[in-house]
Amino acid sequence: MDEFALIRRYFAGHGRGSGVAVGIGDDGAVLEPAPGMQQVQVIDTLVEGVHFPSDLAPADVGYRAVAVNLSDIAAMGAVPRWMTLALSLPAADEEWLDGFASGLHTAAAEYDVALVGGDTTRAPVAVITVHISGDVETGGAILRSGARPGDTVYVTGTLGDAAAGLRGLREGDPVRELLWRFTRPAARVRAGRALRGVATAAIDVSDGLLGDLGKLLLASGVGARLDVEALPISPPLAAHFGADEQRRFALSGGDDYELCFTASGELPDTGIVPVTAIGTVVEGAGIELRLDGEPFDYADAGYRHFADDESGA
């Protein structure tokens, strides 16, 4: 068996799922879109040494590769269905592949998404691209462009944990509960579904709150005022870092994959994840930070871990 046949072995037999007429093994997958629904498609790449350290556990790499894409599906309010994988590796290391595949399949099972096709190639470093398709009710997708002055700005869960965990990892002393947010990010699919018809705009926090909210505001043609004291900070982040560092991680940390969204009026039950109001949409452009009502001076820099990279070609 050649080594790429070996790779394929780890991904065969996972094409079962609703609407999968032909899965892995032909020139392409044959799928049955749900009648009357629109389809949401997302694609995202993780590069070894850029998006994750080379020594990250392969199961975590596999899990993350799926979760970061599911997070985009969640931010649109869609239900994930089908996944394809383009996996480029320096060599077919059986132990690494075994871990990677188990993490990938774990995430796929948790979110009920079927692996329907892929491509395996050789490259000098691991480059993992996942494409996911999901369903959304026609006209129901939550876009970045619908925020209006007077809307409240919300965020799900807590912010800053993943970046703090990753910094600990790089310094050789990670806090397990924080690092977990980096290695096993939760995609807020259930919350995204609950927000259809409620959120006026949404984006997932992959690059940091300020950067991602900035994109949402730009797409909507508005600005925002954020209350820094309102940022949701987890108990472990509060326990291990001072107030200033907590705020830096929460504002610029990225990799948490929470949803940031805007809405006016009452919020529905978004499931198990808490939602926190952190500010208000205003006329104009950009983000004004306030701490206890006073202007908060903050230079957004320094906490983008590996990245010069950017999503959304």
Residues 103-122 that bind its own copies (CB under 8 A): 116-122
CA distance 105 to 113: 9
Q: Which of 5, 238, 243, 272 binds its own copies (CB under 8 A)?
A: 5
Stretch that binds its own copies, among 142-150, 156-164, 236-244, 264-272 (CB under 8 A): 142-150
d(CA 224, CA 203): 15
Min dist. Cβ of residue 88 to its own copies (A): 6
Q: How far apart are CA 126 and CA 17, in angstroms?
A: 28
> Stretches 21-29, 59-67, 262-270, 290-298: which one binds its own copies (CB under 8 A)?
21-29
Smallest gap from Cβ 57 to its own copies, in A, equals 21
Residue 188: what are its φ and ψ, rounded to 5°? -85, 55
- How many residues in the shown chain lie near its own copies by CB under 8 A? 75
**Binding to its own copies by residue 203, rule CB under 8 A?**
yes
The distance of closest approach from Cβ of residue 188 to its own copies in the complex, given in angstroms and rounded to an integer, is 12
- Of residues 47 through 106, those in contact with its own copies by CB under 8 A are 47, 49-51, 72-73, 75-76, 78, 82, 84-88
Alpha carbon distance, N-terminus to C-terminus of the chain:
38
DSSP string, 86-136: EEEESS--HHHHHHHHHHHHHHHHHTT-EEEEEEEEE-SS-EEEEEEEEEE
CB of 5 to its own copies, least distance (A): 7
311 is a contact residue toward its own copies (CB under 8 A): yes
H/E element, 214:
helix 209-220
Distances (CA, A) of 99 to 10, 102, 104, 164, 178: 10, 5, 9, 25, 21
Q: Which CB atom, from 7 or from 231, has the smaller least distance to its own copies?
A: 7
Residue 163, classed as helix, strand or coil, is helix
Binding part of the chain for its own copies, among 4-12, 154-162, 163-171, 174-182 by CB under 8 A, reads 4-12
Which of these segments, 5-13, 167-175, 232-240, 287-295, binds its own copies (CB under 8 A)? 5-13
Shortest Å distance, C-beta 68 to its own copies: 10
